[in-house]
């Protein structure tokens, strides 16, 4: 039963690791990977001496941190609220509607938000009715990052709540009954029973979220950004896409990708070690 999953990771995750060699070579297509000359850390030095790459790195970190700070608690709160709905059919309806956007690609959602936020879109029509001047929100740098964060939270909070709902469903109902008999209201039952019980799951999800701090969402940014907001919207993934596929600077793009992966590994190990020291083995991945 495990063989299809193992085969998938071998083909798409482990075999492609051979390509990491590009980061340390001056890759020439006609020579191939092995015959191309070694250049050591030249591409990494080139990246960190490039002021634009540092700007891209800053954009990536800021967007990811904003998403983590504002977006991480939303699925938890939604799961707690959804758990308080006793009408099962209505509960299932709300849950289905909430995670439906997650299954839509950013190609579809990007076009939808571009139309909504355009000059002739419903947002600007409403603004015009109130007497304010319409704006092209996706072309204003001050608004773009907020739009990224809000739209990503809207797309993913329903699906993100699924794992918390599963954890909540495993809580012994007798604990809630005892607390109710002792006079605890809904807020107190959630605060003193539900949240402490699912806290190991919350910490594990936080560890996984921290590991992707340099993954600010290629699909979303690629479908929404434009030259007007490039200075605040360009992230490592879009930068690697342009350098590797459009400029055909494969070695440099690989070096930037390797840097991103190494940072992700360091973060997940560091956060996991911190969680183990603070919470114990029940709060960590390993």
Terminal CA-CA length for the chain: 23
pLDDT at residue 39, as a whole number: 92
Complete DSSP assignment for 204-253: HHHHHHHHTTT---HHHHHHH--GGGHHHH--HHHHHHIIIIIS--HHHH
pLDDT, residue 83, reads 87
State the architecture of 46-283 in CATH terms.
Answer: Orthogonal Bundle (1.10)
pLDDT at residue 87, rounded to an integer: 85
- Statement: residue 52 has pLDDT above 90: yes
Rounded mean pLDDT, 51-56: 92
Summary mean pLDDT of the chain? 90
Rounded to two decimals, the pTM is: 0.88
d(CA 207, CA 276): 11
How do residues 161-199 score in pLDDT, each as one tens digit? 999 999 998 888 888 888 888 888 888 888 889 999 999
φ, ψ at 69 (rounded to 5°): -70, -45
Distance CA 241, CA 225 (A): 14
Is 210's pLDDT higher than 90? Answer: no
Rounded mean pLDDT, 103-127: 91
Give the pLDDT score at 215.
Answer: 85
What would the mean pLDDT of 223-235 be, rounded to a whole number? Answer: 92
pLDDT given for residue 32 in this prediction: 86
Examine the pLDDT at 5 and tell me if it is beyond 80. Answer: yes
- The residues spanned by each domain of the chain are 1-40, 46-283
């Amino acid at each position: 039963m495990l063989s299809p999953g193992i085969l998938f990771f071998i083909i798409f995750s482990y075999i492609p690791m051979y390509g990491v060699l590009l980061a340390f070579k001056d890759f020439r297509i006609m020579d191939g990977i092995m015959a191309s000359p070694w250049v050591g850390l030249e591409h990494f030095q080139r990246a960190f001496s490039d002021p634009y790459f540092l700007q891209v790195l800053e954009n990536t970190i800021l967007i990811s941190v904003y998403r983590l700070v504002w977006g991480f608690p939303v699925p938890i709160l939604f799961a707690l609220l959804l758990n308080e709905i006793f009408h099962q059919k209505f509960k299932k309806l709300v849950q289905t509607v909430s995670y439906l956007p997650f299954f839509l690609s950013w190609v579809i959602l990007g076009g939808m938000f571009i139309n909504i936020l355009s000059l002739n879109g419903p947002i600007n029509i409403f603004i015009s009715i109130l007497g304010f001047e319409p704006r092209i929100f996706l072309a204003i740098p001050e608004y773009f990052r907020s739009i990224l964060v809000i739209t990503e939270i809207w797309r993913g909070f329903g699906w993100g709540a699924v794992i918390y709902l599963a954890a909540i469903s495993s809580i012994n109902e007798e604990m809630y009954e005892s607390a109710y008999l002792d006079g605890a209201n809904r807020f107190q039952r959630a605060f003193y029973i539900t949240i402490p019980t699912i806290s190991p799951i919350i910490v594990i999800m936080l560890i996984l979220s921290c590991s992707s701090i340099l993954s600010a969402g290629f699909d979303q940014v690629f479908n929404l950004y434009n030259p007007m907001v490039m200075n605040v919207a360009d992230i490592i993934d879009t930068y690697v896409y342009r350098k590797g596929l459009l400029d055909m600077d494969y070695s440099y793009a690989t070096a930037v990708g390797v840097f991103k992966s190494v940072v992700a590994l360091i973060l997940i190990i560091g956060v996991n070690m911190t969680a183990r020291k603070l919470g114990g083995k029940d709060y960590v991945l390993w």
